[in-house]
Structure 1
Amino acid sequence: MGTPLLSIVIPVYNAQETISRAIGSILSQDFKDVEIIVINDGSNDRSLEFCENIARNEPGIRLFSIENSGVSYARNVGIEQAKGKYITFLDADDYYAEMALEQVAANLSPDTEMMIFGYNVDFENKYTDCLLPSEQVFTFHDQHRFREYAVSLIRNEMINAPWNKVYLTSYLKEKEIMFPADLNIGEDLKFNLSVIRDIEHVKILNMALVNYCVKKGEGLVSRFRLNRFDVRYALLMEIRNLLSYWGLLKENQAMIDRFLIRDIMAYFMDFYKMNCDLTYKKKLEIIKELLSRDNIKKSLNNSQFEDFSTRIIELILKTNNTRFILFTAKILNIKRVAR
């Protein structure tokens, strides 16, 4: 194979139930100018066997096996191996819509550095589309205009994932942009913040081209992480620094404050995940310590919110009543479980 238009990187870890569908959704496309880079990340189920069986008859598939190192490291291996002019990523439990790659190829321009498209949320075969705030196809050739638009993507959390984006491979490699392998929370967002920092030529394709699969209760069984808030806060400061670099911080400070309020309460809600073994006393101590930090107090005191739900949570946090705050987190977690 020469230089394909598109490299599709699929990190695989114990995905024997879904990997055939993911790869099949690429092979079934009419558009064939692609290479499929499958990174087996130390799976201990039959994922590797399934991938080998498919790759045996498909010369466009390049299969690599590594020791289990995490999704970011696996994607970075894919970036290093990519031969395509453009690169994108597909998770092993997701799959492309029909004609998705044809739409991508048809709308790439010679100077496109990045493409962003919509997606479907597949919740146990019930679909909800997540589209972008724009007309169907739109091209940015001006940094300032894209940056103003990117703020809306950050606000709606459409900038986070890498699987609804296509990247110019040379752009990533020349700027040495890789996924942070030392993170297991927010690594996708950190990667994309690096990508959009100085980007200029961006194509928006307001079509749902990939199906993002969510299983019932999936988020509830994820592990409690004691450092979750600190990692999320560091990411929030990266967003803040990016907006400052763009000269767009002042008019978007309320968004930063809203994210902070959300992340604080979400962290307290995580105290009720099944694997959290913190005692009641320890939970209260963590709440007290976090809310006593100068940077948190300053943000809470300066915040102003128009939306009712965020305002209520802000007022609850400002009480500094640790028992009341913990009780509120418990109620909100019960509502989250019931969804």
Structure 2
Amino acid sequence: MYSIVIPHYNCIVGLESLILSIPARSEIEIIIVDDNSNCSVENIIDEFSNHNIFIYTNDSGVKGAGACRNIGLNAASGKYVLFADSDDYFVDNAFDSIDCCKGDEDIVFFKATSFCVKSGGLSDRHTKYCDIVDQYILKKDKSILYDFVVPWGKLYNRRFLVDNSIYFDEVIASNDVMFSMRSCWKSREIKVVPETIYCVTRDKGTLTTTFSKEVLSSRYFVELSKIDFIFKNKIKAKKSSAAALVYNYFNVMSFKVILDASKLLIYGKICFFPIKYIVSPLELLKTVRYKKMLKK
């Protein structure tokens, strides 16, 4: 019934903790895709003999989590798919919550929590996504479709992903952003529930704490893809801003960022400062005029 896809690279201890958090049930298959680690993961099968574990290797060299997730997704056979990282884990009774909430929806959104390995306390990696879930439950705020960009904390209908050919970008960083954008754009029915099922960790050396030129460049080009996708499909989402692009990426992309930002501003794909937009500049202008009328 469930396929849990786990990309792995040199994180055996974390992988063991993750598997320990998954019930040993016959209807749960665990698909580990190793990204050519320096350590072997084959012993995991013997160590967790009560679990249904399948191990694959990315034979084309170290390609990143996106490529591994695609291999795992193609190998999955469950009706539902969950994505987990090898340094994270599922919280206690997570699968009881998942069992109660599964249905015919394309995507089910859950809450998560987070843990800081360095401090040994609560992290803040989950707060943004918990707030997004709360805003949908309270106000039916549809920004959850395009702001909840991480793959964890979601239950996917596998047939929905396969039928729509939705896969991860095979890039070094932000491989999940366009996967989430495309899947939410294609979805016809979603469910959002307040239960917490997943714990994401923060540690030094991970992509979320790495700011090398290669990582930031990858994030930059994914950001441009996201901007084009939102504009092309007239999605009611937050516009990126020129100020944020220059601030976040000038050090790695130099004057190219200023040039790209200028072009995007001219075509109306981004704004100078972050704002919510409706569908078109004309409708936004109408809203501004209406507010002025109310003040008179």
Indicate the larger mover: 91-100 or 114-123. Answer: 114-123
Cα deviation per residue 1:78-111 (whole Å; 9 max; x = unaligned)?
Answer: 11111111011110000000011110111112x2
1:290 matches 2:253: no
Which secondary structure does the structure 2 equivalent of 1:26 belong to? coil
Distance 2:97 2:259 in 1: 51
Letter aligned with residue 68 of structure 2: A
Instruction: Sort the Cα spacing of 1:171 and 1:227 in 2 relative to 1 into closer, same or farther, 3 A.
Output: same
Letter aligned with residue 160 of structure 2: Y
Cα deviation per residue 1:134-172 (whole Å; 9 max; x = unaligned)?
Answer: 56996xxxxxx9xx7332553xx3x21111111101111
Counterpart residue number, 1:333 = none
- For residue 177 of structure 1, report the CA deviation from its aligned partner: 1.2
Which secondary structure does the structure 2 equivalent of 1:11 belong to? strand
Instruction: Sort the Cα spacing of 1:221 and 1:53 in 2 relative to 1 into closer, same or farther, 3 A.
Output: same
Distance 1:35 1:257 in 2: 39
Structure 2, gaps ≥5 residues long: 277-296
CA-atom RMSD in angstroms: 3.1
1:261 matches 2:253: no
Counterpart residue number, 1:318 = none
How many pairs align? 262
Pairing 1:1-339 to 2, within 5 Å after superposition:
5-27=1-23, 33-46=27-40, 48-55=41-48, 57-67=49-59, 68=61, 69-109=63-103, 111-124=104-117, 125-127=120-122, 128=124, 129-130=126-127, 131-134=130-133, 149-152=141-144, 154=146, 157=147, 159-181=148-170, 183-216=171-204, 218=206, 219-225=208-214, 227-228=217-218, 229-242=220-233, 244=234, 246=235, 248=236, 252=237, 255-258=238-241, 260-268=242-250, 270-271=251-252, 287-293=254-260, 294-296=262-264, 298=266, 303=272
Distance 1:40 1:13 in 2: 6
Instruction: Sort the Cα spacing of 1:51 and 1:264 in 2 relative to 1 into closer, same or farther, 3 A.
Output: farther
Instruction: Sort the Cα spacing of 1:223 and 1:51 in 2 relative to 1 into closer, same or farther, 3 A.
Output: farther
Distance 2:99 2:217 in 1: 41
Which secondary structure does the structure 2 equivalent of 1:206 belong to? strand
Structure 1, gaps ≥5 residues long: 139-144, 272-285, 308-339
Contact (CA 8 Å) 1:8, 1:36: kept in 2 or not? yes
